[in-house]
Amino acid sequence: MNPRQLVAAQQKIAAACGTHIIQDVVTAIEQRGTRKGREVGDGDAGHAEVQEGEGSRDGGLKVVRYRAGEGGGGGVGEGEGEQDEGVGGDETNFRISLSGGRTVFAHKIVVAPGAYLNLSNILKNVVNGGVGGGGVVFDLALAGQTVAFVEVSAASADLLKEMPCIITSYASGELDGTYILPPVLYPDGLHYIKIGHHNKFERELKTKEEVEEWYRTGEGDPEAVKELALFLSQILPDIEQLNVFGGCCVTANTPDKAAPLVLKVCEGVVVAAGGCGYAAKSCDEIGRIAAQLL
């Protein structure tokens, strides 16, 4: 499956159902008063409290109790020339700031920023807690993963045109398993077989800087690339490897990769993240559950 085509199809369906899609980066989410004509001031905004509970690592979020802000106070000012979108105006609960300068108002939000959920601390104005009280920390571990792109000739690609996507689950060399895509024609006009690993060669990434450096370098772990190309040559011995290079990605993992994180963190806010490297195939259902939790 081509993930870009999947997202494009989902966006087309959403637009046909009346969804207005805005391509922008969310820089802040703030809670507002819910009574018409009054907004809670910045200093005493309504908030949710993080409580300790079971099943969490490193004091991360377990249970969240919502408490509305008290008192009135200065409203949240709207900058001149700001374009406001969304539903309900003053009656909405959340104000979402976008990097392009726009503001969106919403009654309910699903927050799904992938690996950036903790790194961007995007809910810090909505849910208190976390390290130093600076926002909530969700129980997610980030893993850098490596993929190898193995170039094959057009003739080899034709030979392998019936090849299915393959997952191997046995140890071989330094690998504990692989996933392999059949040859795909890339925009550079060349055919590549993409092969990635399982848990072995995962690299824990803890900070935003580490994640950004991992992406900036963009080549993954050279040792993993070598092992992956070697493995491919063993299962496809007659296919000449014209060129090999590495790529990388980051997966967001919940404890034991048991299930994605789909959590109502306070009234009107659901978080959906922690796909554990498996969520693309289930994204429609994960999204449906997240929406229903609202």
Q: Which residues contact ligand FAD (rule: CB under 6 A)?
A: 25-26, 112-114, 116, 120, 122, 147, 196, 249, 251, 273, 275, 277-281
Shortest gap between Cβ of 70 and ligand FAD (angstroms)?
29
Q: What angle do CA 190, 196, 197 make, to 5 degrees?
A: 165
Shortest gap between Cβ of 191 and ligand FAD (angstroms)?
18
Type of residue at 86: G
Query: 192: which 2 tokens?
Result: 């590549």
CB closer to ligand FAD out of 40 and 228: 228
Shortest gap between Cβ of 247 and ligand FAD (angstroms)?
8
3-class SS at 139?
A: coil
Shortest gap between Cβ of 142 and ligand FAD (angstroms)?
11
CB closer to ligand FAD out of 113 and 182: 113
99, 91 in Cβ contact below 8 A? no
Shortest gap between Cβ of 116 and ligand FAD (angstroms)?
4
230, 173 in Cβ contact below 8 A? yes
CB closer to ligand FAD out of 143 and 157: 143
Helix (H) or strand (E) holding 235: helix 222-235
| Number of residues that this document lists for the chain | 294
CB closer to ligand FAD out of 40 and 122: 122
Shortest gap between Cβ of 248 and ligand FAD (angstroms)?
8
CB closer to ligand FAD out of 230 and 249: 249
d(CA 233, CA 104): 52
Which parts of 71-195 fold into alpha helices (H)? 116-119, 154-159
| Spatial CB neighbours of 293, under 8 Å, sequence gap ≥ 6 | 262, 263, 264, 270
